[in-house]
Amino acid sequence: MAEYRQIAQQFAVSMIPENVRLRQDVLPIAWRQGRRKLRVGYMSSDLADHPVGFVIAELIERHDRDKLEIFAYSTGDDDGGEHRKRLIKNFDHFADIARLSARATAERIRSDGIDVLVDLNGWTGTYRAESLALRCAPVQVSWLGYAGTMGLPCFADYVVGDPVVTPMDQQPWFTERIVQMPHSYMPVDTRHPIAAVPSRQSQGLSEDAFVLCSFNNNYKFNPPLFDLWCSFLKQMPSAVLWLSKSNDTVMSNLRKEVEQRGVAPERLVFAPRVAARADHLARLQLADLSLDTFPYNSHSTGGDALIVGVPMVTKRGDTFPGLVGASMMQAAGLPELIADDDAGYAELILDLYHDRARLAGLKQKLVAARDTAPLFDMARFARDLEALYFTMAAAAPGHAAEIGAECPQVPAMGA
C-alpha cells in the first residue's frame, strides 16, 4: 500500500506545477447551521451518458432541498443525451465549465460560495486537479470516480469510502482523511426504466446455455483472470461467457486467449453496444450469473447486474478498487457470494452451475433485497452522505471552534 501512495504522489508532482501544488490557501467557510442551506457542488467530466453520471442520478434527485443547495460543474462535453437532460433538470444549478481554465474554474466555484465541493473525477477523464490545488471551496472531497488517493493533500481534504473499501487502518496510505459511509460507498440508480426482456436468440445466446456475464471494460481483463475463468469453463460444458463487444481486434484477441487455454472460442458471446440504457438493463436479465473482475473490480457494471436481479460472484481484494465488489455484495445482503481467494471464487461459480436451486434462491433473495437492502435504498444513502457533508462543513476552517465534540468521526482539516 505504501507503494501505491508513492506512485500517486509521484504522478501528482509530475502533473501539477510546483507553484500551484505548494500553495497554502485556506478558504473559511461561511455556512452556519440554520442561517442558510449548505451549498454542495459536484464537479465531473462525466455528467452525461457515463457510468458515473448513471449512478449519481437518483442521489441528486433525493438530496434534501430543505437543507442543501446542489450545484453541478460539468468539465466534460455535452452529449445532448436524455441522461444529460435528466441531470441538468435535477441539479439546482448546472454550469457547463468545459472550456474554462483551471484558474477560472476555481474562481467560478468560489464565486458561487460553495461550502463542500465533491470531485467525481480524481485522475480520470478531463479532471481538474489543478483547480482543486488552487482551492475551490472550504471543504474539498474526493468520491466515486477514482478509487484511491490522489497523492497530495492539496487536492482533497477527505475521501469517501466505507468500512470495506477503506477500513480505517488504511489511513496511512491516503493523503485525504478517510470518511466512511455506513454501508457501501457506491450509489446505484433504481429509478432508471428497464425495457422488455429480449429473447435469448436475439442476443446470440442459446436457450439451454448457462450464461456467465462480465460487461466490464476489457482493460480489466488480464492473463491470471482468464486463466481462472477458463479453468472453470472447461468444467461447465453448457456455459458461455457473455462480454461487451468493443471492436473486431479485441474480440479476435480474446477468442485467441480462451482457445490457448483450452476453451472453444465460440463459447465467448459478444454483446454489441445499444443506444438506450433501458435496453442494456433489459438484456442483462438474460444472464444467470455475473462474474466480477480483479484486481480491479466491477463498479457500476456490478451495480447494473444487481439492480436487475443477477447475482455477482466476487473475490475480496486488498486495495480500494479490489474491494468494491465485496462492498456492494455486503450491502446487497449477499455476503455469501464474496470469495477470499481464487479457489473459493471458482468453487462458488461451479457450485451455482451445478446447484440451480441454490442459484434460484439467491436470485429471489436479491430481488427481495430491492425493498430492504442498503445498496438499493437511495433515500437512506442520500441522508447518510448528507450527514458526512454537514460534519465536514462543521469541521472546516472558520467553523471548527464552534463544534466542540459534535463531530468525532471526521477530524478537522489539517489535523
The model's pLDDT over 101-116, given as tens digits with 9 standing for 90+, comes to 999 999 999 999 999 9
Task: Give the tens place of pLDDT for each residue, 155-165.
Answer: 999 999 999 99
Instruction: Compute the mean pLDDT over every residue in the chain, rounded to the nearest whole number.
Output: 94
Q: Which domains does the chain have, with CATH numbers?
A: 12-185+377-402 (3.40.50.11380), 201-369 (3.40.50.2000)
pLDDT reading at 414 higher than 60? no
Mean of the pLDDT values across residues 62-87? 97
Task: Give the tens place of pLDDT for each residue, 273-316.
Answer: 998 999 999 999 999 999 999 999 999 999 999 999 999 999 99
Give the 3-state secondary structure of the chain.
CHHHHHHHHHHHHHHCCHHHHCCCCCCCCCCCCCCCCEEEEEEECCCCCCHHHHHHHHHHHHCCCCCEEEEEEECCCCCCCHHHHHHHHHCCEEEECCCCCHHHHHHHHHHCCCCEEEECCCCCCCCCHHHHHCCCCCEEEECCCCCCCCCCCCCCCEEEECCCCCCHHHHHHCCCEEEECCCCCCCCCCCCCCCCCCCCHHHCCCCCCEEEEECCCHHHCCHHHHHHHHHHHCCCCCEEEEEECCCHHHHHHHHHHHHHCCCCHHHEEEECCCCCHHHHHHHHCCCCEEECCCCCCCCHHHHHHHHCCCCEEEECCCCCCCCHHHHHHHHCCCHHHEECCHHHHHHHHHHHHHCHHHHHHHHHHHHHHCCCCHHHCHHHHHHHHHHHHHHHHHCCCCCHHHCCCCCCCCCCCCC
**Percent of the chain clearing pLDDT 90 (strictly above):** 93
Q: What pLDDT sits at residue 167?
A: 98
